[in-house]
Structure 1
Amino acid sequence: MSADLEPSDVPGTAEPSPLRGDVRTVLKVDVMVIGAGQAGLSSAYHLQNLGLAAGRNYLVLDKSPESGGAWQYRWPTLTLSTVNRIHDLPGMQFSDVIEPGLTEVRASEAVPQYYAAYERKFRLPVYRPVAVKVVCDRGDRFRIETDRETFSARGIINATGTWETPYIPGYPGADRFLGRQLHTRDYRTADEFAGKHVIVVGGGISALQLLDEISRVTSTTWVTRREPQFRERPFTAEDGRAAVAIVEDRVRQGLIPGSVVSVTGIPLTPALLAARERGVLQRLPMFSEITEQGVRWADGAEQRADVILWCTGFRSSLDHLAPLQIREEKGGIVMTGRLATQIAKDPRIHLVGYGPSASTIGANRAGAAAARELADYLGLVS
């Protein structure tokens, strides 16, 4: 099925909408995968391997106009040499599409090219661009309303990631700052900040990468809420499993998941070692308020600034699932299943790319587990 098929070509059983009484249709499938990034494509691959028919048994909805998930929106200077790591999707290696050694190719070009080739090779039924607006429970089925058609499914694998939900914490005075404020999601190039003082907020890998880039063209101040933990020794498979286990334990308790990086620490790459030598990694604690001209700490110290760059992460993009009331009082979601992808309150819903599977390798494993568990639960496979 073509990735740019017309609504009338979407396979499935169509029936008049019983809720709206208009000309729109409800397209029925067994499993709806929402999102076509790494986790969504992995889930679709495994649903297909279980013998589910593309378009009839399952369908993938993707908000973006092209293949590539959130990768297609990353900043231009994020190349294959600076990206943390790109893991292969199941059944097809990244090197089958992108020639090894092309380290300076933009990640925003290479990964979408790989994903597009993957969709073609396995003939995955990805329907785009379709933005899911809301999902409602209608007894034995879910009603999935989008900006195009309305769909009906018995089960959902949600793989919407975090890119659409950037997080900027609230600080007093933010609305009176006369300079520019932007989030990692909005960053394009360091050159636009030349001659301006930039405050970089955040202690993750992206924050350090952008701090390094920007500090090469202008003056910077780096602030974080916690003291960053740098890792000088190589990151082992055991380290990864231990970090994932900590995050998995949190979501099984219904707590808001922390990031895997917050557990593993930040690797001291050659670029960061060079930045340390240049004196860039002089971290300051978080300021207490934002002024018209910059920021102020609790002790009265101030720093003038032209730009505040919030590298403060993202939150899971789950607003479309709000009517299902899957969250606990404190905001978390109790997860169960082999790899903690299944929502305890409703086993018909799996979240992949959430919590312990919010990494490219974790998304692959989660896609396999979610596909099998959901297909079993719905009686789609023997």
Structure 2
Amino acid sequence: MNTIVIGGGQSGLAAARALRDAGLTPVILEAGEHPTGSWAHYYDSLTLFSPARYSAMPGQPFDGDHYPHRDEVVDYLRRYADRLDVEIRTTTRVSAVEADGSGGFLVHLEGCDTLRTAGVVAASGSFGNPYVPEVPGREGFTGQLLHVADYRNPKHYAGQRVIVVGAGNSAVQVAYELAGSATVTLATRQQVQFMPQMVGGKDIHYWHTTTGFDSLPPQWLARIATGTLVLDTGDYAAALEEGRMERRPMFTGFDGEHVIWSDGTAERVDTVIFATGYRPHLDYLRPLGALDASGLPLQAGGLSTTHLGLGYVGLEFQRSFASNTLRGVHLDAAHIATPMAAYAGGALAAYGL
């Protein structure tokens, strides 16, 4: 094998296809039982925020104007993997990657096996590394505390006092769902910013793709969007306005079974769900020295700045607004495939390097 792709979700599948098309022979290593990444582990009601027709990967259409359910995406990725014509090893977890001393890599697997390869693409996503911020008193909270990665459905929270922390799509969607059977507050550091799902009679993703917004680089996006935007058909904003769920400034700490709000009042709470995002799941690259002190990859546009032959696919805002989405991940995969193929294919040898 000349290239190993770590991760068999949408990013890994897109990377493998691009590498294959560039003339390499990639092997996908997927820790789970199926090459569907994290999709099967999201909460039960999850639906895509983009219509099916704007959520396809190259070579396989995703037809329709509906918003696909989580299980539809899982099925789509399974079919995509079946047609990909590359080797996929499931239940194969990478424990560490090291340099082999001759320009390549040693990929160590749980169970003590080691694979040697000329190139590595880290496409393991972020679901395995949920982020929960430090809040004073958190360790002593006597209620239930979880990240949205562990939330499945509202039936276990009926009648409870629940706080959902976060101002993004997942936070609002979960809070809205829970509000049907629980008393729910969204705790956020800023006001929730809604973006209409439909603009001019068309889904916002039509405008993302036809205007080129999807391809805007992160440096430009940082100046355009100064906060997290929540796509809304009108239901979420209405729920807040009508009091079916409320929004309050982020609480300042925990005290036993209570949270302490910013005005100093204490309130007993049954469950706190942090919908506070994820960080890249790349601990296996620490022995290589490819990460910064906070665990983020040292890279530019998906190519490592520390090691030749090391690439990334699926990082949020890796090169554009759509970088880690079904509709956009293939563009980042194609961007790194040519230099990866040049290196792993031995192009440097022609120059005596």
What is the TM-score with the length of structure 1 in the denominator? 0.79
Distance 1:264 1:301, change over 3 A: closer
Task: Tell me if structure 1 keeps the 8 A contact 2:51–2:65.
Answer: no
Q: For 1:319 and 1:331, how far apart are their aligned partners in 2? A: 7
1:92 aligned partner: 60
Shift of 1:40: 0.8
2:104 aligned partner: 141
Instruction: Please tell me whether residue 223 in structure 1 is matched to residue 183 in structure 2.
Output: no
SS of equivalent to 2:264: coil
1:237 aligned partner: 208
2:19 aligned partner: 47
% identical equivalent positions: 28
Q: For 1:240 and 1:301, how far apart are their aligned partners in 2? A: 47
Q: Deviations over 1:198-228 (max 9, x none)?
A: 0110011000000100011111111112332
Q: For 1:37 and 1:248, how far apart are their aligned partners in 2? A: 27
Shift of 1:267: 2.0
SS of equivalent to 2:308: strand
1:315 aligned partner: 279
2:342 aligned partner: 376
2:26 aligned partner: 58
SS of equivalent to 1:94: coil
Shift of 1:243: 7.2
Aligned length: 331
Instruction: Please tell me whether residue 122 in structure 1 is matched to residue 84 in structure 2.
Output: yes
Q: For 2:171 and 2:344, how far apart are their aligned partners in 1? A: 43
Residue of structure 1 aligned with 2:306, choices 345, 351, 355: 345
Distance 1:168 1:243, change over 3 A: farther
Once the two structures are overlaid, the 10-residue window that deviates more, 271-280 or 223-232, is 271-280
Q: Deviations over 1:282-327 (max 9, x none)?
A: 3211111111122103431122210001111111001000112123
Q: Deviations over 1:58-77 (max 9, x none)?
A: 21100110131111111111
1:38 aligned partner: 10
Residue of structure 1 aligned with 2:326, choices 332, 356, 360: 360
Q: For 1:314 and 1:331, how far apart are their aligned partners in 2? A: 12
1:185 aligned partner: 149
Q: Give the CA RMSD over aligned residues.
A: 2.7
Task: Tell me if structure 2 keeps the 8 A contact 1:243–1:264.
Answer: no
Distance 1:243 1:365, change over 3 A: closer
Look up the equivalent residue of 1:141 and give its one-letter code: G
2:320 aligned partner: none
Shift of 1:379: 3.4
Once the two structures are overlaid, the 10-residue window that deviates more, 266-275 or 312-321, is 266-275
Shift of 1:263: 5.2
Distance 1:330 1:133, change over 3 A: closer
SS of equivalent to 2:284: helix
Question: Residues 3-42 of structure 1: matches in 2 within 5 Å?
Answer: 29-42=1-14
Q: For 2:226 and 2:98, how far apart are their aligned partners in 1? A: 34
Structure 2: 5+ residue runs without aligned partners?
318-322
Q: For 2:147 and 2:119, how far apart are their aligned partners in 1? A: 34
Look up the equivalent residue of 1:361 and give its one-letter code: R
1:12 aligned partner: none
1:171 aligned partner: 135
Q: For 1:230 and 1:70, how far apart are their aligned partners in 2? A: 26
Q: For 1:144 and 1:319, how far apart are their aligned partners in 2? A: 13
Q: For 1:269 and 1:290, how far apart are their aligned partners in 2? A: 34
Structure 1: 5+ residue runs without aligned partners?
1-28, 251-257
Q: For 1:209 and 1:240, how far apart are their aligned partners in 2? A: 27
Look up the equivalent residue of 1:363 and give its one-letter code: V
1:294 aligned partner: 258
Distance 1:88 1:276, change over 3 A: same
Task: Tell me if structure 2 keeps the 8 A contact 1:353–1:362.
Answer: no
Task: Tell me if structure 2 keeps the 8 A contact 1:248–1:355.
Answer: no
SS of equivalent to 2:187: strand
Question: Residues 264-303 of structure 1: matches in 2 within 5 Å?
Answer: 265-280=229-244, 282-303=246-267
Instruction: Please tell me whether residue 73 in structure 1 is matched to residue 45 in structure 2.
Output: no
What is the TM-score with the length of structure 2 in the denominator? 0.85
Shift of 1:271: 2.5
Q: For 2:104 and 2:214, how far apart are their aligned partners in 1? A: 36
Q: For 1:178 and 1:34, how far apart are their aligned partners in 2? A: 38
